[in-house]
Structure 1
Amino acid sequence: MIRGTAILVAGFVLVAAAGAYFWTADASGSGPGAMPEDVDLSAGEALYIENCAACHGANLEGQDDWQSPGEDGRLPAPPHDETGHTWHHGDQVLFEYTKLGGRKLMAAQGMEFDSGMPGFGDQLSDQEIWNILGYIQSTWPERVQEMQATRTEGETRKRED
């Protein structure tokens, strides 16, 4: 029971913080909130393998027991395939989370929480991050891509209001 509660609390904190950050700031100044049209999926796949696969898996499968915090309180790396929660977030949230990392994103909202996700803004250009995200999204079934695109559109509309 305690473990289940910890999972729910950690998940809620992550989603709430990412959502709050999305609505109040664009720390990167990277743009409109939706993926650019000029992503390079081949480059994204290579960059994913080089920068992401060690934690999130070569087949985007994530780490075992990814929904249960480890002894350090961090959640293992989630899958980026359709079985995970990546597609539950709009493009800009995914971009900022990748660029800034979990701790910095949460700190920007006044929360102290370390998801374990490092920021890649110092190693990867904005375009390279978009390429990786484009590659990840290209692996999802069409219905999942459509649901994620709808979330991105809704978040972009609210941001523009």
Structure 2
Amino acid sequence: MAAAAAFAQVNRSETADAAILGAPVTAQKIAQGNELYAQNCASCHGPDMEGQPDWKRPLKNGRMPAPPHDETGHTWHHSDSQLFALTKQGVSGVVPGYESDMPAFEGILTDAEIRATLAYIKSTWPKRQYEYQAKVSDREGPEE
């Protein structure tokens, strides 16, 4: 189901001349992001981006479960630069003192691979979430 949604969104992304942090989004990047997501993210965030069960409740260790990356979660509330930083540095690297199981992918994924993964995630969102997140990102401007 997620793959079908991704390919349905590719045309919208390309016609909207979409970019993530200044890098154009293409069908090839979305396909690469799909593979990277499956290899690096799906084990926690779910193969269909559904997140872990009870993701709004702390685990016994006090940390929060992995949230969904689909429209039911809050990923689409964050700008591209915030999502990029959270992925590259891990949550605790961006939010000091916040305990999280989200690892930093710096040294594991290149910046281009992080952008491709984010492009894939975004390509699966319904139009409303996609457009909202694009506006959030536009207000912030590209990160240099």
Normalised TM-score (structure 2): 0.80
**Percent of aligned positions that are identical:** 47
Question: Which secondary structure does the structure 2 equivalent of 1:62 belong to?
Answer: coil
Aligned to 2:23: 36
Distance 1:72 1:140, change over 3 A: same
> Which of the residues 101, 113, 128 maps onto 2:90?
101
Aligned to 1:46: 35
The question of whether the paired residues in 2 share the 8 Å contact of 1:35 and 1:91 is answered with: no
The question of whether the paired residues in 2 share the 8 Å contact of 1:100 and 1:120 is answered with: yes
Aligned to 1:135: 120
Question: Which secondary structure does the structure 1 equivalent of 2:92 belong to?
Answer: helix
Aligned to 1:11: none
> Which of the residues 71, 75, 97 maps onto 1:82?
71
Aligned to 2:5: none
Task: Provide Cα deviations, 1:5-62, integer angstroms capped at 9, x if missing partner.
Answer: xxxxxxxxxxxxxxxxxxxxxxxxxxxx735114500100000000000000000000
Task: Give the whole-Å Cα distance in 1 for the aligned partners of 2:138 and 2:77.
Answer: 12
Question: Which secondary structure does the structure 2 equivalent of 1:70 belong to?
Answer: coil
4+ runs deviating over 4 angstroms: none
Distance 1:35 1:49, change over 3 A: farther
Count the aligned residue pairs. Answer: 123
> Which of the residues 136, 149, 155 maps onto 2:134?
149
RMSD of the alignment, in Å?
1.8
Question: Which secondary structure does the structure 2 equivalent of 1:50 belong to?
Answer: helix
* 1:119 and 2:104 matched: yes
> Which structure 1 segments of 5+ residues have no match?
1-32
